[in-house]
Chain A
Amino acid sequence: MAPPSSRRTGFSKKAQNSVFTGYLLASIGGLVGVGLLALSLWQPQALAPLRGSAQDVVTPIGEGTAVVRSGSGGFFDGIAAYWNAAQQNSELREEVEIARIRLEEAKSVAAENERLKSLLALAEGEIDPVATTRLVGSSATSSRRFAYLAVVRVDDVKVGMPVRSPRGVVGRILEVARASSRVLLLTDSESVLPVRRAEDNTVAFAEGRGDGFLRIRLINLGLNPLEVGDLFVTSGAGGYYRPGVAVAVLTELTPDGGLARLVAEPSATDFVSVEPIYQPIAVGSAQVPVEVRIDETESTGGGN
């Protein structure tokens, strides 16, 4: 549609002034945007309260859609399960048989672990989750991968806490607002997670690529020992995540590691739990500069 002729200013001083003011205000808006953008790239937490209060308003709606999402996912899975039902049934029965045997073996390993740990006087109890909740939304239009949690008991949730689903690691808490919090998903291009291969101690970093895959980068370079299908679990290094939680399965080999697919896809999970930071002291002391002795700051460095 062509612009209406009334928008041509002609000789009217008033109309010319209003057009000029429009351009001036729009330019000022743009400059304010540049300033705020620079501020939030430099100090990402600076405008978090503003975002947080907006999220708090929207998360109740997100909770509704989360319920629908998990419900409809189950519905389609139910339909899909009817394909090849007979063959699936026999395959699954066989798998269950094998799994039972493995379970018994695992029990004996667990018992032996218990015995060895008691010899070393290592105490390790079950970790109680800080909160159990749903993922209610995400940054679906942005190239960054954030998700949003609706958290009721928000007092206990702190920045840096790991978020996991029953299958494995989902991400970690990035910002906490009054009734919601923002999660950095593993697939974000800024996410790095120390992992190890489940069957041995090949350590690596799992970096998000921004397209759903994780890039597994081996720390010890040389001959690439990985194979497609290897499971990677958290190594516990860095102190945020407790060791031994499933992260990703290798799907493709590269010279310095490989590409891996997530074990716990956030969109497929129903509930996630927020766990406390595994070793707060290690996280705190990692933030201490190299020149300072850790025992000097130990009394204050145990935060997040």
Chain B
Amino acid sequence: MERLAASARSDRYGRRINREQSPWRALSVPYLSIALASAIPFVFLADVMPIAPPLGYLMLLGWRIMRPGLLPLWAGAPLGAFDDLFSGQPFGSAILLWSMTMIVLELIEARFPWRGFWQDWFTAGLAALTYIAVAMVVSGGQITRPMVLAALPQVVLSILLYPFLSQAVAGLDRFRLSRARRVG
């Protein structure tokens, strides 16, 4: 029998013989990564203006856009509740906004099944811009001109961060689906 090339025995998810995917890993990685991204900005000390982009929200957008159908439609509510614990926004704002995002993206996707990186970036950028603006409205403080101007760097940073986050999501997705369990 002819021997197969060594590279043919594996693909990008690892070796194919007597290995299989771990269901725990496949199901938990998106949620854990979004929750971690929600908690990371907590440790930055922003005393002057909002400096950190809403990482948790951007991570949710990344997973939602890169892997449609992986997160259930209602996932915005529990993940948003977790984000609200750390964001400093009044509790409930992310529950509302993340749920709305999931519904709106689903509706858009049903009408325009987009493909391609540039459309994804446009969608994510628009969503991030809207999110920061609406989050400011529901933050409980009075909106002033300087406050809006102070949010601009955050908006720009959020939009520019999407390509890197989509790379990170792709990497996490490979990790999620890699064949980690040994069978037999």
Contact = CB atoms under 8 A, between A and B. Distances in A.
A51 B88 CA distance: 9
A211 B142 CA distance: 13
Interface string A151-162: 000000000000
B47 A138 contact: yes
A167 interface: no
Interface stretch (A36-44, A81-89, A98-106, A284-292): A36-44
A211 B53 CA distance: 16
A50 B85 contact: yes
Nearest to B44: A140
B52 A33 contact: no
Given A3-B113, A37-B96, A212-B47, A50 B91 contact: yes
A148 B53 CA distance: 19
**Which of B72, B95, B115: most chain A CB closer than 10 A?**
B95
Given A33-B92, A140-B46, A144-B139, A210 B150 contact: yes
Contacts of A147: 45, 47
A2 interface: yes
B80 interface: yes
A187 B47 contact: yes
Interface stretch (B6-14, B22-30, B99-107, B175-183): B99-107
Given A187-B47, A209-B147, A210-B146, A30 B100 contact: yes
A32 interface: yes
A227 to B, nearest CB: 22
Given A1-B115, A50-B85, A54-B86, A138 B44 contact: yes
A82 B78 CA distance: 51
Interface stretch (A58-66, A117-125, A231-239): A58-66
Given A37-B92, A50-B91, A144-B89, A135 B45 contact: yes
A141 B54 contact: yes
What class of interface size applies to chain B in its complex with A?
35 or more
Contact of A189 (B44, B76, B120, B141): B141
B23 to A, nearest CB: 19
Nearest to B47: A266
What class of interface size applies to chain A in its complex with B?
35 or more
Contacts of A38: 92
Contact of A22 (B74, B94, B140, B146): B74
Contact of B44 (A30, A137, A209, A262): A137
A220 interface: no
A139 B88 CA distance: 5
Interface in B109-125: 109-110, 113-115, 120
Given A37-B93, A139-B88, A189 B48 contact: no
Contact of A143 (B55, B69, B78, B151): B151
Contacts of B68: 1, 3-4, 7
A140 B41 contact: yes
Contacts of B140: 40-41, 44, 144, 190
Interface of A: 1-4, 6-7, 22-23, 25-30, 32-41, 44, 47, 50-51, 54-55, 58, 61-62, 65-66, 69, 135-148, 185, 187-190, 209-213, 262, 265-267
Interface of B: 39, 41-55, 65-69, 72-74, 76-78, 80, 84-100, 102-103, 106, 109-110, 113-115, 120, 135-136, 138-144, 146-147, 149-151, 154
Given A61-B43, A140-B51, A141-B50, 19 more contacts: A1-B66, A2-B114, A3-B68, A7-B69, A30-B103, A33-B96, A37-B96, A41-B138, A140-B42, A140-B45, A143-B147, A143-B150, A144-B140, A146-B88, A148-B42, A187-B47, A189-B147, A209-B147, A212-B48
